[in-house]
Amino acid sequence: MTTRQRLSPREGFPNSLDISGGRSIHDAQHAPYLVAASLHELGLVDWIPRVFSFLKMYDGVARWMETGMPEAAFIANLDLREEIKRKRSGATPPEQDPAALRFRLAVVLTNSPVTLFGARWKLERRFKDVPMDIPWNPLEQPWLSFLGQHIDLPDHATLHVNRKGRHFRQQLMAYLLER
Encode pLDDT of 47-104 as tens digits.
999 999 999 999 988 888 778 788 888 899 999 999 999 888 887 776 678 899 999 9
pLDDT of residue 7: 45
Ranked by mean pLDDT, the top range of 2-6, 23-27, 93-97, 137-141 is 137-141
The answer to whether the CB of 69 falls within 8 A of the CB of 124 is no
pLDDT of 1 over the 70 cut: no
pLDDT higher than threshold 50 for residue 10:
no
Q: What is the pLDDT of residues 22-58, one digit of tens each?
A: 666 666 677 899 999 999 999 999 999 999 999 999 9
Higher pLDDT, 21 or 81: 81
Check whether 107 has a pLDDT greater than 70.
yes
Bridge partners, 159 (sequence order): 121
**In Å, what is the CA distance from 13 to each residue of 19, 21, 24, 25, 106?**
10, 14, 18, 22, 45
pTM, full prediction:
0.78
Sign of the CA dihedral with 142 first, then 143, 148, and 154 last: positive
The residues spanned by each domain of the chain are 21-115, 117-164
pLDDT of residue 53: 95
Instruction: Count CB neighbours of 71 within 10 A.
Output: 21
CB 159 within 8 A of CB 123: no
